[in-house]
Amino acid sequence: MRRRDLLRMIGATAGGAAMYQAMSSLGLATESPFRGTPTLQEAPRGASVLVLGAGIAGMVAAYELRQAGYKVQVLEYNHRPGGRNWSLRGGDRFTELGGFTQHCQFDDGLYLNPGPWRLPYHHHGILSYCRKLGVALEPFVQVNHNAYLHSADAFGGKPQRYREINADYRGHVAELLAKSTQQAKLDQSVSKEDQERLLESLREWGALDRQFAYARGETSSNRRGYDRDAGGGLSARPSPSTPLQLTDVLGSRLWQYLVAGEIYEFQTTLFQPVGGMGRIGEAFGRELEGVIRYGAKVTAIQQDDRGVTVAYEDADTPGTTHSANAQWCVCTIPLSILGQLPINVSPAMAEAIAAVPYAASVKVGLQFKRRFWEDDEQIYGGITYTDLPIANIGYPSTGFHSGGKGVLLGAYMWGQDAYEFTAMAPEERVRKAVDYGSRIHPQYREEFENGIAVGWHRSPFTLGCFGAWSDEMRERHYDNLCRMDGRIVLAGEHASYLPAWQEGAVTSALDAIERLHRRATGGMG
């Protein structure tokens, strides 16, 4: 398998964060280093900090610095808190670069998370702030065995249930290994006693029969499902299903999607805020009411030995320039934006800011007249994976059996497909998502009502989805990016080893303010 194919597979399966992890560390992941918020001693008398950006990193920094007694002001480009922590709901408007303005028409209670949409159980930092701020959480369904795996070129384009491909792939592999074991082909590497244990485990793991075959019957059907389920009365007897042939399973390449729930960031349990991911940003915004100045577009950042001065435009009065001053600055502006602003930092930091590209991503939310995926196909939460450009269809993990309308994540794409969709007008992105999705769910065309599509490279406050470091770039630039530069320190997911995750923003912000505080109190930052 070529490296490009491997990365495409991982990206299609689990999204850009996992793809990046594979690019930078061959898929190795570690638990968040968060072990609680730092205990900052009392701030120096009259000490002040400017925080640039009211995304998660900026608001964590502002929250903790204010707690320590600093005078804090936050400048935020948008008219809302959260940054990429964002939920689009009915009545919202979003204008992207190029002038396209979308008006979200979702019904009350329905939403799309254009940015982050799930919280791993081991992302202790962001979860701790959910607790502090009273943000209610509910389970996020990552793996649904009744969702679909789909290839345009396999099985006549007919989607297959996840459980069927999962059971058949494992079953056939288990049978092959059992045959090798029985034929004494493992004698040199596995002891006789371990071979017996291996056979026993393969029977259980692969749902093999007494002859160690993966075949039609009760055992295999208990994994892959029945043609007719068990019931009561004279129609009670179940009808076993027939496994797919190994060559068909392998040829379909649908096995590539089975890794989804195994990747560290996507292992059970995952969470989501009740009512949308944006509830976290909104809760921070309430906590920092009066501290954040919205509609403030930063145009220049200058520092000297006395403090930091930031020039910004007021979005409500374009062309008018204002300035804000403080002794210190925590800058969380995405590097894709920051690299275009005048800022007098060291050559090493300036080079680091300019070096990091941003990944492309597109999300499309589609509202339907009814929750047909539940009514017709019994899919409650989870994700369908496809090799079509839309890559994913995400089913809502809430509102089960509620009846009425619903919103699907109709596309979640990366890389070349994302660039192509970003180049389209928003209504064309929505139309394409409906066209592609109807190959998996024929109900799309009859049930579709409206949609909204966010191409992150057209987002004026990020110009991309997240910082896409490489190993070489990290080795050369990462430390220079994160070090304090005079009175300025950077924070955000781009200044972390958890790119694209809110946990990266949290842990980066806490590290940055701890070093800033040491510098402000006379220590080394």
**Is 8 contained in some domain?**
no
Higher-confidence position of 194 and 524 = 194
CA angle in degrees (0–180, nearest 5) for 9-373-163: 50
Residue 20 has pLDDT above 60, yes or no: no
pLDDT of amino acid 17? 45
- Mean pLDDT value across residues 464-492: 97
- Mean pLDDT value across residues 379-397: 98
Residue 108 has pLDDT above 70, yes or no: yes
Do 46 and 120 belong to one domain?
Answer: no
Do 303 and 421 belong to one domain?
Answer: no
- CB atoms inside a 10 Å sphere around CB 173: 18
Average pLDDT, the chain: 93
- CB atoms inside a 10 Å sphere around CB 471: 11
**Is 152 contained in some domain?**
no
Using a pLDDT cut of 90, give the percent of the chain over it.
87
Do 451 and 407 belong to one domain?
Answer: yes
- Domain range enclosing 130: 88-146+268-276+359-458
Domain with residue 318: its CATH number is 3.50.50.60
Do 58 and 118 belong to one domain?
Answer: no
Residue 1 has pLDDT above 80, yes or no: no
**Is 10 contained in some domain?**
no
Do 242 and 327 belong to one domain?
Answer: no
106 in Cβ contact with 90 (< 8 Å): yes
Do 368 and 272 belong to one domain?
Answer: yes
Do 352 and 473 belong to one domain?
Answer: yes
**Is 446 contained in some domain?**
yes
**Is 178 contained in some domain?**
yes
Residue 119 has pLDDT above 50, yes or no: yes
Q: Which of residues 409, 439, 458 is at a domain's end?
A: 458
Mind listing the pLDDT tens digit for each residue in 125-134? 999 999 999 9
Confidence of residue 58 (pLDDT cuts 50, 70, 90): very high
Do 472 and 343 belong to one domain?
Answer: yes
Domain with residue 125: its CATH number is 3.90.660.10
Do 374 and 448 belong to one domain?
Answer: yes
Identify the sign of the CA torsion 140, 143, 148, 152: positive
SS3 for 490? strand
Instruction: Output b/e per residue, 23-59; b: 16+ Cβ within 10 A.
Output: bbeeeebeebebeebeebeebeeebbbbbbbbbbbbb
How many domains are contained in the chain?
3
Do 508 and 384 belong to one domain?
Answer: no
Q: Which of residues 409, 428, 458 is at a domain's end?
A: 458
**Is 259 contained in some domain?**
no
**Is 7 contained in some domain?**
no
Q: Which of residues 430, 458, 486 is at a domain's end?
A: 458
Do 128 and 178 belong to one domain?
Answer: no
Residue 278 has pLDDT above 70, yes or no: yes
Q: What's the token pair of residue 370?
A: 């009814």
**What separation in angstroms does the CA of 420 have from each of 199, 265, 424, 446, 511?**
49, 28, 7, 26, 37
Mind listing the pLDDT tens digit for each residue in 389-422? 999 999 999 999 999 999 999 999 999 999 999 9
Domain with residue 205: its CATH number is 1.20.1440.240
Do 486 and 436 belong to one domain?
Answer: no
**Is 416 contained in some domain?**
yes
